[in-house]
Structure 1
Amino acid sequence: MQTTINWQAVKPESIYMNNEKLFKLEQTIKSDYHNINGIIIIKDGHLAYEKYFNGKGPDDSHHVASVTKSVLSALIGIAIDKGYIQSVEEKVIDFFPKYISDADKQKQQITIRHLLTMTVPYPYEDWHEPLDILCQQQDWIKYTLDIMGKNGDLGTFKYSTAGAHLLSAILTQSTGKSARAFANEHLFTPLGMKEIPDYKMNAYGFDDLFGKNVKGWVHDPNGHSTGGWGLTLTTRDMARFGYLYLNKGILDDNRVLSETWICDSTEMNPNNYGYLWWLRQEDGLSTYSAIGDGGNMICCMPKMNMVVAISSEVIMNPRDRWPLMKEYIIPAVINK
């Protein structure tokens, strides 16, 4: 497998692209998917397709929302590879002794693996997490640790952005660096991605955390990079990250992440959710995807040796990207 992405236009004899499907894809985006800013297809290590919309281009960064979670998962894997964290079986409370003096039995059992797989109980209904309350706290870590393990059974899937933020704090406790700084050194730079500057935040309103003022990588009032959202990436950098996983942890002949971590992160299970990656099996095609609000997506298709990156403006209730994948993008890429 090619370990370096060829960013030049792919040779016609190497990969055949169905131009009719691509034309229909672009027309459908313009008519029905107005918030899509960019799409990249990497096939067999080659740039097979790259298109931008809404005046955006390859150098523009986008708030990728919950795609941040999958990047954070990679950072936890790198930290384990390098010995900063022993394993996914380490107990969460062991990283925060100053916060927890008397944890109940269930809270004592929660591990890094539970945070990665979203199988920690919290006192809210699934998909109704009160992020507005989290964002009003002076100490997001204390708030999340206080509610962690309540109202439910350990091992049952419940989506939690606050839980992902705990993983960011665990990374900082283990390495002495924010997730942003650790990523710059051990992930972004080795992949040839843009480094993320340390932007200071003076306000924590909606636009600062989620909206038009988001830049770099958002952090909480105590400097922890947000674990569940807040990262900005170019569409090309989204594709680079996906190709790292597709290529089993190697890019540009550099081992960035262990193959074991990638396999564990993307192994199919009844929850269809790995280590902060969404898993899908449909029509004989297995995929794993980093997915964020607005329809941001990095979809890896091992069987096709293909990565699709879609950058989007974060909006409420965007159209599902999978119909685009199924009806236009996948059929557009045909091996001769």
Structure 2
Amino acid sequence: MNQEKIKELENLITRDYSNIAGIIVQKNGTKLYENYFNKYTRDNAIHVYSVTKSVFSALIGIAIGKGYIKNVDQKVLDFFPYYDIKPGEKTIQDITIKNLLTMTAPYKYKTEPYEKFFTSQNPIQDALDLLGGDKAIGEFNYSAIGGTHILSGILARATGQTVLEFAAKHLFSPLDIHVTHNVVLSNKEEYFAVMNDKNTSGWVVDPQGINTASWGLFLTAEEMTKIGQLYLDGGKYNGKQIIPAEWIGESTKVHSRWGELSYGYLWWVIDDKKHIYAALGDGGNVIYINTNKKMVVSAASLFMPEAKDRIELIKEHIEPVFEN
């Protein structure tokens, strides 16, 4: 290992990616590099923001594999039979789980009302009320909060368990990931207080007690790496099939596009031909999987607005150091 290049990399991180709290590079299942910054240690969990979405995608795949959900083509409203469809509303009846996974569901807004979801007493109900409208199904329409959270309601209703209970049994415990309790946030002040608190762990729940599927999960860099390695290994961990292999393949290929960006099932597809994909979250949180190089890179990051692109950091500065 070239220690001079590693020192250059660490200087670059300190200078240009100063909000990184932990970074791990793994190749062929062997850890090549692990380091922590900003007074964080390997035991401190980080709020990984939208990386939560990709982890949640795994839970949907597990639920389908176990028969709780038939398939991704099931209609969203199959799981909410009580929902009162508005007069003249037809689009919502045709929206499927796959549309939510691939960000191809339409909504009745031009800009997603984040504040509405964060202050709502029933965000799934509010998200359903905003789903549909007069736009076409099938066009990429990134929903940062509401659409994915509907999937959380679907998982809870399909399994008869809380999302955390299901995740703990079928994903977290087998991988020795410690997400043990719910995080309850009552107001905006509490939200900002825990986001960069190194002593916070768990998974945020909404006022209905449903874990947030689009954000709110706290993981260590090591736990992020375990998720990445699980995907790289086709859903197997210690010889046990945790996620169906078919789900890994299907959810990490291109299903929708947003300009030059490609999207799978709540995973970003970085390079379809080379089969590179990533879970990406605000602040520069990332689980990066390069299938051909058998490499996983995880970066746990504190929130900062307009953080520098982590994919550029990985492809231009990390992979060249560790790929040989």
TM-score, shorter chain, exceeding 0.5:
yes
Moved more, 288-297 or 325-334: 325-334
Aligned to 1:114: 99
Q: How far apart, in 1, do the equivalents of 2:77 and 2:229 lie?
A: 34
SS in 1 for 2:292: helix
The answer to whether the 8 Å contact 2:73/2:98 transfers is yes
Aligned to 1:131: 114
Q: How far apart, in 1, do the equivalents of 2:323 and 2:248 lie?
A: 26
Aligned to 1:77: 61
Q: Provide Cα deviations, 1:83-109, integer angstroms capped at 9, x if missing partner.
A: 111110110011111223457221110
Aligned to 1:9: none
Of residues 264, 270, 277, the one that matches 1:274 is 264
Q: Provide Cα deviations, 1:273-318, integer angstroms capped at 9, x if missing partner.
A: 0000000129x74311000000000000000001000000012111
Structure 2 unmatched ranges of 5 or more: none
Aligned to 1:141: 124
Superposition pairs for residues 27-106 of structure 1, below 5 Å?
27-102=11-86, 104-106=89-91
The answer to whether the 8 Å contact 1:168/1:225 transfers is yes
Kindly, what percent of the aligned residue pairs are identical?
Answer: 43
Q: Provide Cα deviations, 1:238-265, integer angstroms capped at 9, x if missing partner.
A: 0000110000000111110111001110
Structure 1 unmatched ranges of 5 or more: 1-16
Q: Provide Cα deviations, 1:44-96, integer angstroms capped at 9, x if missing partner.
A: 01011101101111111000000000011000000011111111011001111
SS in 2 for 1:260: helix
Q: Provide Cα deviations, 1:180-214, integer angstroms capped at 9, x if missing partner.
A: 12111100001121132234x26132542773466
Amino acid at match of 2:35: K
The answer to whether the 8 Å contact 1:169/1:224 transfers is yes
Confirm whether residue 173 of structure 1 aligns to residue 157 of structure 2: yes
Amino acid at match of 2:242: V
CA 1:110–1:310 in structure 2 vs 1: closer, same or farther (change >3 Å)? same
Q: How far apart, in 2, do the equivalents of 1:93 and 1:75 lie?
A: 19
Aligned to 1:187: 171
Confirm whether residue 231 of structure 1 aligns to residue 221 of structure 2: no
Q: Provide Cα deviations, 1:16-53, integer angstroms capped at 9, x if missing partner.
A: x3433322111011111110001101100101110110
SS in 2 for 1:89: coil
Task: State TM-score, norm by structure 2.
Answer: 0.92
Q: How far apart, in 2, do the equivalents of 1:151 and 1:105 lie?
A: 9
Aligned to 1:4: none
SS in 2 for 1:85: coil
CA 1:39–1:280 in structure 2 vs 1: closer, same or farther (change >3 Å)? same
The answer to whether the 8 Å contact 1:144/1:166 transfers is yes
Shift of 1:230: 0.2
Q: How far apart, in 2, do the equivalents of 1:165 and 1:63 lie?
A: 17
Aligned to 1:20: 4
Q: How far apart, in 2, do the equivalents of 1:129 and 1:22 lie?
A: 41
The answer to whether the 8 Å contact 2:27/2:296 transfers is yes
The answer to whether the 8 Å contact 1:19/1:332 transfers is no
Q: How far apart, in 2, do the equivalents of 1:135 and 1:90 lie?
A: 28
Superposition pairs for residues 243-254 of structure 1, below 5 Å?
243-254=229-240
Confirm whether residue 300 of structure 1 aligns to residue 289 of structure 2: yes
Q: How far apart, in 1, do the equivalents of 2:278 and 2:323 lie?
A: 21
Q: How far apart, in 2, do the equivalents of 1:212 and 1:97 lie?
A: 39
Amino acid at match of 2:217: L
How many residues of Structure 1 are paired with residues of Structure 2 in the alignment?
Answer: 315
Of residues 242, 249, 254, the one that matches 1:256 is 242
Confirm whether residue 326 of structure 1 aligns to residue 293 of structure 2: no
CA 1:74–1:302 in structure 2 vs 1: closer, same or farther (change >3 Å)? same
Q: How far apart, in 1, do the equivalents of 2:130 and 2:311 lie?
A: 34
SS in 2 for 1:50: strand
Q: Provide Cα deviations, 1:150-180, integer angstroms capped at 9, x if missing partner.
A: 2421000011121110001100001112221
Confirm whether residue 198 of structure 1 aligns to residue 185 of structure 2: no
Q: How far apart, in 2, do the equivalents of 1:206 and 1:158 lie?
A: 30
RMSD between aligned residues: 1.7
CA 1:152–1:206 in structure 2 vs 1: closer, same or farther (change >3 Å)? farther
Q: How far apart, in 1, do the equivalents of 2:130 and 2:124 lie?
A: 10
Amino acid at match of 2:22: G
